């Protein structure tokens, strides 16, 4: 009587309970769950007819569209493995990931036809290129293929330990790693999210998060599990977010802190469009308390902060609200919500370990590395046993994030291991400095990195994006920092930029900033 833990079980239930409910909105396209799953079944049958077999990989390069969403059901239910690719990567990156994953089929949106065609000769193992929209010489037409495919196919037996997706990391400093996520990983992340947060078939989820980012933090399956509506947003900018949220009565969205910053700083006329009480989940980087305070105070939205990695499928912890937090004044409550929180219900055991391998004291000061062992941890890095062994040394997955644990048991990240600034023997958290500077009314975004210093070894340097229409000088920001930080943590220098370099998932590329500053110094 055992049922494997797989998101496909959520799809089975949704087919039965919600066939006539609206499943997907994508521009002029509106699909009920009956229509959506019929399309998924036809694509599964089509893939089998194209020679794709259980265990084969199917790559997707596409924004948040209904065709992309269909892949998260059609591919795994016929036993295949989906490989969602960051569409902002280069042609060479596309070629590397497609070849490394061993993908036999590449499905792409028209925006990426030309880029894929540039490296097509480098992809000897790909048997079919599929145009998800429109037509392209030498490419299969997705819609035409669906129309001619059978609505039924033979469903293979799926085990919960089977590979569901290979999700590639950002690859900001080296080649991206292929994270192997299983059916069990994904199902438990969905169940854990549903245990912590209330969802129902009345929810309408606005796709502001890229689906390729760890399977949209598993919301590609979660909203289907509850029979909610997927509101596809192909390009994320504040205007599109507010207009679609209003038009389609969105109730929930996920966004990295950088996206939240752009939303919170949108013109007042746009912000007034947004429905009040919209719920938001943020992750991907530690959010500043000032950002949380603005999102909740000015927009009237309710924010939940979670933490994890692609390697943890993805959620490890959640800043779980408790009754005593309600009585806090807004600033203090925002600072509490900025913490990474406590173990996610289905993640497993999370500990912050010191250099000696022991758990750090819960004093809010002693630094250690966040580690985890349990249900959320990936099956390993694809075709990379050395990388897998290093990441999982000692029986724990090592996150690379430095944190403290407060007396109440809540974790708070202080930095990435590689981003901790050691100045004159003192450890400086770049996140702490960034959070302080973000409280200045003229600062929209900021990134702090350590740069070489003759006396101190290295010292903090701030890269600042100023709000449109605002002005602030380096001297003013330095004085503001001195009022809010210990003096040794105050940046030695400030560089003003129009925008910060980021990955497609909203993470600031600090290595780019270090290199840019080094090049400026060399000149």
Region of 120 on the Ramachandran plot (φ > 0 left; ψ -120 to 50 alpha; else beta): alpha
Q: Are residues 91 and 135 in the same domain?
A: yes
Q: Which strand (E) or helix (H) includes residue 302?
A: strand 302-308
Q: Are residues 262 and 369 in the same domain?
A: yes
**The predicted structure's pLDDT at residue 520:** 54
With a cut of 50, say whether residue 303 has pLDDT above it: yes
SS3 431: helix
pLDDT digits (tens, 9 = 90+) for 38-87: 999 999 999 999 999 999 999 999 999 999 999 999 999 999 999 999 99
Distance in angstroms (rounded) separating the CA atoms of residues 20 and 27: 19
What is the tally of helices (H) and strands (E) in the chain?
A: 19, 25
With a cut of 90, say whether residue 422 has pLDDT above it: no
Residue 57 in tokens: 């990989």
Residue 109 in tokens: 């949106």
Q: Are residues 438 and 494 in the same domain?
A: yes
Q: Residues 245, 275: contact at Cβ < 8 Å?
A: yes
**The predicted structure's pLDDT at residue 427:** 74
Q: Are residues 407 and 330 in the same domain?
A: yes
SS3 68: helix
Q: Which of 360, 391, 416 is the last residue of a domain?
A: 416
Residue 242 in tokens: 């507010």
Q: Are residues 223 and 333 in the same domain?
A: yes
Q: Are residues 384 and 346 in the same domain?
A: yes
Question: Band of the pLDDT at 502, cuts 50, 70, 90?
Answer: confident
Q: Which of 24-28, 346-350, 485-489 has the lowest mean pLDDT?
A: 485-489
In this structure, is residue 21 part of a structural domain?
no
Dihedrals phi, psi of 281, to nearest 5 degrees: -115, 130
Read off the CATH number of the domain in which 473 is found: 3.30.300.30
Q: Are residues 402 and 430 in the same domain?
A: no
* Closest by Cα among 463, 461, 27 to 207: 27
Strands of the sheet with 128-131, listed across from one edge: 140-141, 128-131, 103-108, 57-61, 81-84, 163-168, 178-182
pLDDT digits (tens, 9 = 90+) for 237-259: 999 999 999 999 999 999 988 88
Q: What is the domain range of residue 468? A: 420-522
Dihedrals phi, psi of 353, to nearest 5 degrees: -105, 140
Q: Residues 267, 318: contact at Cβ < 8 Å?
A: no
pLDDT digits (tens, 9 = 90+) for 262-298: 898 898 899 889 889 999 999 988 888 889 999 999 9
* Closest by Cα among 239, 217, 91, 94 to 165: 217
Q: How many CB atoms lie within 10 A of CB 322?
A: 11
Q: Which of 158, 182, 202 is the last residue of a domain?
A: 158
Q: Which of 78-87, 186-195, 352-361, 415-424 has the lowest mean pLDDT?
A: 415-424
In this structure, is residue 183 part of a structural domain?
no
Beta strand segments in 332-469, E: 342-343, 349-353, 368-373, 397-405, 411-416, 421-423, 426-428, 443-453, 457-466
Give residue for tokens 């309408």: 204
Q: In 183-256, where does DSSP find H-type helix?
A: 183-196, 214-217, 219-225, 238-247
* Closest by Cα among 417, 415, 416, 418 to 429: 415
Distance in angstroms (rounded) separating the CA atoms of residues 508 and 28: 34
Partnered with residue 175 across adjacent β-strands are none
pLDDT digits (tens, 9 = 90+) for 129-161: 999 999 999 999 999 999 999 999 999 999 999
Distance in angstroms (rounded) separating the CA atoms of residues 55 and 159: 12
Q: Are residues 410 and 440 in the same domain?
A: no
CA atoms within 13 A on the CB side of 516: 15
In this structure, is residue 186 part of a structural domain?
no
In this structure, is residue 178 part of a structural domain?
no
Q: Which of 387, 416, 445 is the last residue of a domain?
A: 416
With a cut of 70, say whether residue 171 has pLDDT above it: no
Q: Which strand (E) or helix (H) includes residue 45?
A: helix 33-49
Average the pLDDT over 2-22 and give the result: 97
Give the largest CA-CA distance in the chain: 72
**The predicted structure's pLDDT at residue 261:** 87
In this structure, is residue 3 part of a structural domain?
no
In this structure, is residue 402 part of a structural domain?
yes
With a cut of 90, say whether residue 487 has pLDDT above it: no
Q: Are residues 406 and 473 in the same domain?
A: no
pLDDT digits (tens, 9 = 90+) for 438-450: 999 999 999 999 9
**The predicted structure's pLDDT at residue 415:** 83
Of 467 and 418, the structure prediction assigns the larger pLDDT to 467
Q: Are residues 329 and 269 in the same domain?
A: yes
Q: How many domains does the chain have?
A: 3
Asked whether the bond before 423 is cis by omega within 30 degrees of 0, the reply is no
Q: Are residues 405 and 446 in the same domain?
A: no
Q: Are residues 226 and 354 in the same domain?
A: yes
Distance in angstroms (rounded) separating the CA atoms of residues 219 and 189: 10
Angle at 515 between CA 511 and CA 519, to 5 degrees: 170
In this structure, is residue 447 part of a structural domain?
yes
Read off the CATH number of the domain in which 114 is found: 3.40.50.980
**The predicted structure's pLDDT at residue 172:** 47
Give residue for tokens 């340097």: 461
Distance in angstroms (rounded) separating the CA atoms of residues 179 and 515: 28
With a cut of 60, say whether residue 519 has pLDDT above it: no
> Of all residues in the chain, what percent carry a pLDDT higher than 90?
81
Whole-angstrom CA distances from 28 to 65, 136, 160, 225, 483 are 12, 22, 36, 24, 53
Question: Band of the pLDDT at 517, cuts 50, 70, 90?
Answer: low
* Closest by Cα among 234, 238, 245 to 203: 245
In this structure, is residue 19 part of a structural domain?
no
Q: Residues 201, 227: contact at Cβ < 8 Å?
A: yes
């Amino acid at each position: 009587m055992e049922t494997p833990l797989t998101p496909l079980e959520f799809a089975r239930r949704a087919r039965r309970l919600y066939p006539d409910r609206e499943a997907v909105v994508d521009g002029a396209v509106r699909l009920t769950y009956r229509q959506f799953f019929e399309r998924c079944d036809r694509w599964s049958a089509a893939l089998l007819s194209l020679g794709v077999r259980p265990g084969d990989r199917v790559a997707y390069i596409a924004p948040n569209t209904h065709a992309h969403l269909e892949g998260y059901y059609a591919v795994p239910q016929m036993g295949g493995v989906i490989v969602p690719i960051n569409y902002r990567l280069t042609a060479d990156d596309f070629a590397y990931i497609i070849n490394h994953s061993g993908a036999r089929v590449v499905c792409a949106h028209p925006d990426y036809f030309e880029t894929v065609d540039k490296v097509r000769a480098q992809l000897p193992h790909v048997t079919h290129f599929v145009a998800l929209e429109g037509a392209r010489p030498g490419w299969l037409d997705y819609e035409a293929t669906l129309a001619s495919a059978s609505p039924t196919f033979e469903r293979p037996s799926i085990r919960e330990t089977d590979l569901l997706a290979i999700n590639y990391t950002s690859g900001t400093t080296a080649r991206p790693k292929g994270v192997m996520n299983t059916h069990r990983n994904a199902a438990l992340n969905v169940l854990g999210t549903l245990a912590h947060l209330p969802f129902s078939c009345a929810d309408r989820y606005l796709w502001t998060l890229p689906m390729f980012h760890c399977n949209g933090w598993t919301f590609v399956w979660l909203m289907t599990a509850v029979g909610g509506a997927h509101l596809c947003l192909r390009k994320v900018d504040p205007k599109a977010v507010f207009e679609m949220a209003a038009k389609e009565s969105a109730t929930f969205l996920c966004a990295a802190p950088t996206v939240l910053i752009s939303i919170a700083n949108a013109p007042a006329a746009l912000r007034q469009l947004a429905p009040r009480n919209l719920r938001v989940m943020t992750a991907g980087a530690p959010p500043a308390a000032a950002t949380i305070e603005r999102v909740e105070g000015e927009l009237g939205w309710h924010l939940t902060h979670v933490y994890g990695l692609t390697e943890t499928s993805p959620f490890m912890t959640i800043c779980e609200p408790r009754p005593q937090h309600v009585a806090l004044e807004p600033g203090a409550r925002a600072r509490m919500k900025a913490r990474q929180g406590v173990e996610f219900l289905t993640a497993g055991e999370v500990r912050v370990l010191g250099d000696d391998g022991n758990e750090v004291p819960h004093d809010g000061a002693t630094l250690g590395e966040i580690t985890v062992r349990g249900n959320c941890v990936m099956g390993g890095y694809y075709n990379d046993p050395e990388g897998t062994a290093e990441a999982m040394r000692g029986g724990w997955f090592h996150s690379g994030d430095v944190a403290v644990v407060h007396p109440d048991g809540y974790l708070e990240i202080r930095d990435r291991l590689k981003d901790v600034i050691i100045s004159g023997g003192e450890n400086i958290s770049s996140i702490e400095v960034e959070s302080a500077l973000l409280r200045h009314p003229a600062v929209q975004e900021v990134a702090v990195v350590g740069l070489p210093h003759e006396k101190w070894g290295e010292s903090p340097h701030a890269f600042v994006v100023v709000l449109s229409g605002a002005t602030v000088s380096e001297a003013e920001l330095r004085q503001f920092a001195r009022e809010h930080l210990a003096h040794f943590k105050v940046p030695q220098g400030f560089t003003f930029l129009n925008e910060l370099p980021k990955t497609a998932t909203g993470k600031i590329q600090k290595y780019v900033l270090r290199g840019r500053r080094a090049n400026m110094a060399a000149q």
